[in-house]
Structure 1
């Protein structure tokens, strides 16, 4: 890679529940216009566009972008499950860093349906056959429980058994998420909850209750990625750069029978270690992170997979308040997937927007003070994990 990629602009629209959302094309238009406006460019300056979404017909990316303009720019549609938005960002960054283009747009959107995630193509082999085999071998037949809470709930139970942790600790993560989301105008759920509220909500599977599961959400987010030369030529801000980024997929270890590995622990750890090595930073340098808290269980597992705290110490990390303001690393200042929401194709780019605002000092009451780097983690089972490190350019 010959050029440093900088994030010249970001944008998103407020996330919403399916019953209150606009259609995906309207959402995409809003986010793209916001990102272009933030960067100070027009669509005809973009040389490639990467559109991320999971639920939709082919070329939905074009349909969303055409509401902004029809410039003939190449549009590549991306689907990598819940890591789709970050995968689109990965491709945009790669195109700029390689010198293939000097300005790329990554945008993601999702118009989700109510209820748990489900397969839409049942006349062909499932991408989750291996996952089902491992989960069933470990926990038996879970009946009608949806696959995602079954996998993550099983992993949470396995963690508690392995490390002697009270499952009630998971509930504290949901409480923290709401506290952070209260300061985010883009978040879906901003009302406070207590540990008792979380534990008293309907039980889903294992230690998971409803308030420990991210909601079906609609929304869109976008980022403009440019070379430093392009930024200088056009007078754009270039104060936030992508210092390192890695995308990993499953290895046989994901299916070794360990439910924690099944939900992406090793994928995340491998990507994070490569990012730290490439950027020349250590986990101790990280003071703000947006990570993939699709369930409270996954946030806890990711503390350790990202090496923010040693294995088996997440309970102390939580109870000491090291995962929030005043602690060691502010985790999901946006409210995360649990409270901000999780429109699959938009999630990774919403994380990008939050961390760019943080590094610029534009996060308002969510601002984490005195930061020079920020870490992003986005995972999709099936599988793909994307870890991105942003740095403030002086």
Structure 2
């Protein structure tokens, strides 16, 4: 007997603004805001949620429970996950699989992060880093004979910068191409109220900005960020029962890949930056969706550093190996081109709160497919792809599409009472009360208003 998974649909999405870490809001507030917004978008209360997966990297044990208990202590399974920078998408995958396997008809995926200012660093000093092997390989490849000037800068930036340098050495791309990618993303985010940065430097200004590593300047690097994002996922039976045909967006392809032996055997800086994971995950997701790269119109791509967007064009099959810089030259990565890559501004400009990043991608792509993305809207979106990468390693590729039964009806703006794509608002206590579990509405956790920071 061949097992056929059930279809899964995104029925509600929500996001906070991704912002500079200032210590103004705790993770509780970020998680509550994203979840309340997603429930409001779906038009359901927390009573309907049968399982939740919560992703965060810099947090403590059952942080997901602390956030969600404010919305309802219903006794459902709450699973906490950490998968480096792909944590948000890993939470999303777990909730999607709960629907596909029939374990639940409605599940929540939530991601949040409250980060420390400055470059990424580990709080652990008594154990090796999970990416220590990757960084060691980069140092071995870039020995003193090949690169006599010692490289400096944060380790993650050096890994991705080295991958970009190898791409340039192999195929004739230049630092200008990486600067143009960064400038393109900043120009996109100037129209995105959820973005941490909303300035739009020229590629020349990007190239001449403060250097961070040998290849990278400051605008080419994603910042540390605070933020939260959430998605409600449901079965087709749930969608039809609750008359959500005007909200539901189908997950038609989804795959997770970890590193293969190529990571070390290929002796390649490009592979050390996760290209093989992206290659294999995207191939599997395309096959599930029954499409190819040319059938996709909009992509949210994990551009933690500008070189990663360049090398990932190859990995996602957008071009033949070695031709990614031609996409940049032709403008095929922005409005009016073949694809619009990172209309949100990407990680470089929108921000990168690790646990929320992957679910932030689902937030933006859901709005794109519904035609509700406001000033960021890409024309005639049929298929949308999210690529979320974590060194160490994990890569998640998800492909979304309108289902055949989709019909126009209510919009995200009409449900929220304002234009969600063009304005960021925090949720109110009234909105929290509207979606809190009614089954246990007589119980309010201690200091709920302080925890929610509404």
TM-score category, normalised to shorter length = over 0.9
The two structures have a TM-score, normalised by structure 2, of 0.85
Answer yes or no: is the 8 Å Cα contact 1:11–1:222 preserved in 2.
yes
SS across alignment from 1:208:
coil
The two structures have a TM-score, normalised by structure 1, of 0.97
In the TM superposition, residue 319 of structure 1 has moved relative to its aligned partner by: 1.4
In the TM superposition, residue 166 of structure 1 has moved relative to its aligned partner by: 1.9
1:251 aligned onto 2:260: yes
Q: Select which of 322, 332, 337 maps to 2:342.
A: 332
Structure 2 match to 1:71 = 74
Structure 2 match to 1:352 = 362
In the TM superposition, residue 119 of structure 1 has moved relative to its aligned partner by: 1.8
Answer yes or no: is the 8 Å Cα contact 2:99–2:107 preserved in 1.
yes
Answer yes or no: is the 8 Å Cα contact 1:43–1:69 preserved in 2.
yes
Taking the aligned partners of 1:275 and 1:186, their CA distance within structure 2 comes to: 28
Answer yes or no: is the 8 Å Cα contact 2:152–2:214 preserved in 1.
no
Structure 1 match to 2:423 = none
Answer yes or no: is the 8 Å Cα contact 1:21–1:218 preserved in 2.
no
SS across alignment from 1:18:
coil
In the TM superposition, residue 74 of structure 1 has moved relative to its aligned partner by: 1.3
In the TM superposition, residue 143 of structure 1 has moved relative to its aligned partner by: 6.7
Structure 1 match to 2:169 = 161
Taking the aligned partners of 1:206 and 1:160, their CA distance within structure 2 comes to: 13
Deviations 1:139-168 (A, max 9, x none): 248576221001001111111111122212
Runs of 4 or more above 6 Å deviation: none
Taking the aligned partners of 1:285 and 1:215, their CA distance within structure 2 comes to: 31
Answer yes or no: is the 8 Å Cα contact 1:11–1:38 preserved in 2.
yes
In the TM superposition, residue 19 of structure 1 has moved relative to its aligned partner by: 1.6
In the TM superposition, residue 389 of structure 1 has moved relative to its aligned partner by: 0.5
Structure 2 match to 1:288 = 298
Taking the aligned partners of 1:96 and 1:168, their CA distance within structure 2 comes to: 44
Taking the aligned partners of 2:238 and 2:217, their CA distance within structure 1 comes to: 48
Structure 2 portions without partners, runs of 5+:
145-149, 405-454
In the TM superposition, residue 239 of structure 1 has moved relative to its aligned partner by: 3.4
1:314 aligned onto 2:324: yes
Change (3 A) 1:389 1:283: same
Q: Select which of 83, 98, 102 maps to 1:99.
A: 102
1:269 aligned onto 2:272: no
SS across alignment from 1:168:
helix
Taking the aligned partners of 2:142 and 2:117, their CA distance within structure 1 comes to: 27
SS across alignment from 1:378:
strand
Answer yes or no: is the 8 Å Cα contact 2:56–2:81 preserved in 1.
yes
Answer yes or no: is the 8 Å Cα contact 1:108–1:222 preserved in 2.
yes
Answer yes or no: is the 8 Å Cα contact 1:156–1:206 preserved in 2.
no
Q: Select which of 198, 210, 215 maps to 1:190.
A: 198
1:228 aligned onto 2:236: yes
In the TM superposition, residue 21 of structure 1 has moved relative to its aligned partner by: 4.4
1:87 aligned onto 2:90: yes
Q: Select which of 40, 45, 54 maps to 2:48.
A: 45
Answer yes or no: is the 8 Å Cα contact 1:17–1:188 preserved in 2.
yes
Taking the aligned partners of 2:176 and 2:380, their CA distance within structure 1 comes to: 33
Taking the aligned partners of 2:43 and 2:282, their CA distance within structure 1 comes to: 32
Structure 1 window deviating more from structure 2 (308-317 vs 295-304): it is: 308-317
Structure 2 match to 1:110 = 113
SS across alignment from 2:379:
coil
Structure 2 match to 1:178 = 186
Structure 1 window deviating more from structure 2 (227-236 vs 47-56): it is: 227-236
SS across alignment from 2:396:
strand
Taking the aligned partners of 1:183 and 1:255, their CA distance within structure 2 comes to: 41
Aligned pair count reads 394
